[in-house]
Structure 1
Amino acid sequence: MSNELPEIPTEEDDLFEHYRIVVDKGQTPVRLDKFLNQHVANASRTKIQNGIEAEAVKVNDLASKASYKVKPYDVITLSLPEPPRETDIIPENIPLDIIYEDDVLLIVNKPTGMVVHPAHGNWEGTLINGLVYHFNNLPTGRNGEGRPGLVHRIDKDTSGLLVIAKTEFAMSFLAKQFFDHTIERTYQAIVWGELSEASGTITGHIGRSAKDRRVMSVYADGSEGKHAVTHYEVLKPLRYVSLIKCNLETGRTHQIRAHMQSIGHPIFNDTAYGGDRILRGISNGTYKAMVRNCFDELPGQALHAKSLGFIHPTSKEWVQFDTDLPKNFQNILDKWESYVQYQ
């Protein structure tokens, strides 16, 4: 299946999201509305339904009903309106946990639940909204895109360190290190189960899932997606879960989350990758209550971008930054240690 977007949109096209989907040869018959809900990211059920009713959704160039059964090789095209938003990013007085700052960059410790930059459904309250309030004239990078100072990003429900560029040169200098994979990024995560090896490397292309475009899949045969490498080390095995350290050699979307799921150890409380269910131990009694209590305390997946190292744009020397685990993350780790100790 493939999605194709216009390379040079007109002013009218800017108001819409354009999709062209060629259905896989192995697709089983399924309702059109259900198929689109599974394969179009960031589009609500209502938005899909409205698009079908407005004949903005066509199958093989013909307007189709929601009940139409999608078949192999069907060509589906969509022109869905984007949510209304301001052209300029609105500055917001959002407190930022800045652990380091100089003339050319700053290091921010992002909390769980904060979106990094404005996008579908999150035009306000993002890290970028806060940055443009606290800092003037942040560089925008290529094409003047609305992501001032942003060199890289982490998921909404992942906490941890981000480097923000304050000058155009710093942005280019740092971006090249990310492109060359010379940035050192270390994450810590709680994953389900005890891994068979104390350390290892997961290699597997990562691309959009054919079943659900909102998540990523690992294509070990390299047939889809982009090359991705994650190195891991077990820091603390806890019978039912493990605390691990991950170093990214590449930086793909949801890389650690998808890679850990692919080897049978999804991240604890990761709703998108199956970690929000009890995957080890007996799902009853005291144990079940303890796990549910942990789920309730952690607002997202147990994944924290703990350290970040790179060559500084001005001094040209290696700099390294580190942060403690968030309090709720540490609390959950303590609960697991205590539970295992007395069992």
Structure 2
Amino acid sequence: MLNVIYEDNHLLVVEKPVNILSQGDNTNDDDMVNLLKKYLKEKYNKPGNVFVGLVHRLDRPVGGIMIFAKTSKAASRLSEQVRNKTFKKTYKAVLHGEMKKKQDNLSDYLYKDKKTNMVSVVNKNHKDAKDAKLSYKTLASNNGFSIVEIDLQTGRPHQIRVQFSSRNHPLYGDQRYGKNVNKKGQQIALWSYKIEIEHPTKKEKMEFVCEPPNKYPWNMF
């Protein structure tokens, strides 16, 4: 059952469950775009195709808030906000250990190996390096873990996971980048918590929030 947070004629704001694709791929597993098309067809009894515009993505294991467009005009205007960085995304994550600074800005250059789908920190002179910036603040620490709120300033693949892992604070449950994460089957503790946009037609500032689930490791804090 989809958790629809907000809906009008132009926008569809929903909670993406963990391990659901943002957009379909060759696995033919469930994805948000097709689930939302089905939702709209059934809700409004629409024949034929239904438009659902994907304007940003979340990695498959990451849950939380996503915004979709219900019209091509809204999709175009929201995509422009993504490009000019007025589409503001805030995440929450559970990390191993405690960061030296309670809040800080992290800046790196990242490279994605397309063959392995792995991202690494590289020198800025690397020919395929992309700059990656975020800021964080620690909300609480407990039992060798910390929960942080992350203001993502660039949207690079696996950016949050790699930037914290490279500082020896991998995300809880991150099998890919966590050297000291060895429990198979753990769910990565990264959550899309808040999105701020300008409404594509009304031009009003809008803010949507979706808290992480009340279960381990989130409920440690």
Distance change (3 Å), C-alpha of 1:220 and 1:231? farther
Which whole-Å CA distance do the structure 1 matches of 2:2 and 2:31 have between them? 11
**Structure 1 residue 138: Cα displacement:** 4.5
| SS of equivalent residue, structure 2 residue 73 | helix
Q: 51, 58, 77: which is aligned to 1:173? A: 77
The answer to whether the aligner puts 1:100 opposite 2:6 as a matched pair is yes
Which whole-Å CA distance do the structure 1 matches of 2:149 and 2:143 have between them? 17
The answer to whether the aligner puts 1:127 opposite 2:37 as a matched pair is no
Q: For structure 2, which runs of at least 5 residues remain unmatched after alignment? A: 42-48
**Structure 1 residue 134: Cα displacement:** 2.0
Q: 173, 180, 183: which is aligned to 2:87? A: 183
Which whole-Å CA distance do the structure 2 matches of 1:238 and 1:245 have between them? 15
Once the two structures are superposed, residues 57-93 of structure 1 have per-residue CA deviations (whole angstroms, 9 ceiling, x without a partner) of xxxxxxxxxxxxxxxxxxxxxxxxxxxxxxxxxxxxx
**Structure 1 residue 276: Cα displacement:** 6.2
Distance change (3 Å), C-alpha of 1:222 and 1:260? farther
Q: Compute the RMSD of aligned alpha carbons.
A: 2.0
Asked which structure has the greater RCO (Cα within 8 Å, sep 6+), the reply is 2
Distance change (3 Å), C-alpha of 1:274 and 1:105? same
1:204 is aligned with what amino acid? D
Q: For structure 1, which runs of at least 5 residues remain unmatched after alignment? A: 1-94, 140-147, 279-291, 338-343
CA contact (8 A) 1:233 1:244 kept: yes
Q: Alignment identity in percent?
A: 30
Once the two structures are superposed, residues 150-200 of structure 1 have per-residue CA deviations (whole angstroms, 9 ceiling, x without a partner) of 001101110001100001110010000100111111100001110000111
Distance change (3 Å), C-alpha of 1:98 and 1:220? farther
Segments of 4+ in structure 1 off by > 6 A? none
What is the TM-score when the length of structure 2 is the normalising length? 0.88
Tell me what 1:249 maps to.
153
1:132 is aligned with what amino acid? K
Tell me what 2:173 maps to.
269
Which whole-Å CA distance do the structure 2 matches of 1:257 and 1:309 have between them? 22
Distance change (3 Å), C-alpha of 1:120 and 1:276? farther
**Structure 1 residue 213: Cα displacement:** 2.0
1:161 is aligned with what amino acid? I
CA contact (8 A) 1:114 1:127 kept: yes
What is the TM-score when the length of structure 1 is the normalising length? 0.58
Which protein is richer in helix relative to its size? 1
| SS of equivalent residue, structure 1 residue 242 | strand
Q: How many residues align?
A: 213
Which whole-Å CA distance do the structure 2 matches of 1:303 and 1:241 have between them? 13
Give 1:34-183 correspondences, 5 Å limit: 95-121=1-27, 123-135=28-40, 137-139=49-51, 148-183=52-87
CA contact (8 A) 1:183 1:308 kept: yes
| SS of equivalent residue, structure 1 residue 274 | coil
Tell me what 1:315 maps to.
202
The answer to whether the aligner puts 1:219 opposite 2:122 as a matched pair is yes
Which whole-Å CA distance do the structure 2 matches of 1:133 and 1:124 have between them? 15
**Structure 1 residue 129: Cα displacement:** 1.9
Which whole-Å CA distance do the structure 1 matches of 2:157 and 2:193 have between them? 18
Which whole-Å CA distance do the structure 2 matches of 1:239 and 1:111 have between them? 27
Which whole-Å CA distance do the structure 2 matches of 1:316 and 1:218 have between them? 38
Tell me what 2:137 maps to.
233
1:169 is aligned with what amino acid? K
Distance change (3 Å), C-alpha of 1:241 and 1:209? farther
**Structure 1 residue 228: Cα displacement:** 1.4
Once the two structures are superposed, residues 260-312 of structure 1 have per-residue CA deviations (whole angstroms, 9 ceiling, x without a partner) of 1111111011111126626xxxxxxxxxxxxx6xx76x5x2100000000100
CA contact (8 A) 1:187 1:306 kept: yes
2:121 is aligned with what amino acid? V
| SS of equivalent residue, structure 1 residue 170 | helix
**Structure 1 residue 220: Cα displacement:** 4.2
**Structure 1 residue 322: Cα displacement:** 0.3
Which whole-Å CA distance do the structure 2 matches of 1:275 and 1:232 have between them? 22
The answer to whether the aligner puts 1:333 opposite 2:218 as a matched pair is yes
Q: Which structure has the bigger radius of gyration? A: 1
CA contact (8 A) 2:110 2:132 kept: yes
**Structure 1 residue 327: Cα displacement:** 2.7
Distance change (3 Å), C-alpha of 1:237 and 1:222? farther
Which protein is richer in strand relative to its size? 2
Which whole-Å CA distance do the structure 2 matches of 1:97 and 1:200 have between them? 33
1:195 is aligned with what amino acid? M
2:6 is aligned with what amino acid? Y
